[in-house]
Structure 1
Amino acid sequence: MNQLDGGGGGGPSGGPPSLATAPAKKKAAANTIENELEPDTAKAAKVADAATTAAVGGFEGWATAAGLKTVETTWDSQVKTLLARLASEKTALRSTALTFGQQELDNRARLAGVRPTSRIEQY
């Protein structure tokens, strides 16, 4: 760590590093989270809740019922955390795609305004 790297850069095939983004892929990933992962996770949570509630009723008066209720509370908390994380990732993917797209447009506009000087312009 206390030396220069051996050269070759950090990009693909030892070339120079590059920053590449794929807004369409980010949008597709965000859509997958929204249309598949979030609904399926919420649906699975409801199925588990229903089964656990039925089991708690079946063990009424036993210590097992209290244990199952604790498990259900923990499960619900974990599902909420997971859904919040999925929502956060979805938002980040969409935001990143927009930010990179806007940055690309800004760079193009700036470069379009820069003209190389030529000796022919002196005449």
Structure 2
Amino acid sequence: MPAAAIALTVLLGLLAVFQLALALGAPLGRFAWGGAHRVLPARLRVGSLIAIVIYAVIALLALDRAGLVDLVPEPVSVVGMWVAFAYFVVGIPLNAISRSRAERLTMTPVVAVLALLSLLVALG
């Protein structure tokens, strides 16, 4: 399980860098938020910043659940990882039905991998 937690954390870190680039105005909008904007408008840039915070919380929960850090009580990391798993499972069809072909082809498999890794971590 530590390997799954580390892999999950690395992938979330890469996504955080991507979301930061979007928040700073990088023209990568076709890969996120429905792909309707080349450069995200202000409200979606805020959404990207919120996503970074969510990714950080999930990464910390995963590392805690795997026993690599001790930040929260065990029940919090157990429940938190199941919530993260559900969050990623919901993200699979949402990305799969995106109007953006780039988002469908790129983010659907990424979210599926996140779901699998979070399931492995949640199972402990």
TM-score range normalised by the length of the shorter chain: 0.3 to 0.5
**TM-score, structure 1 normalization:** 0.38
**TM-score, structure 2 normalization:** 0.38
User: Which structure has the larger Rg over C-alpha atoms?
Assistant: 1
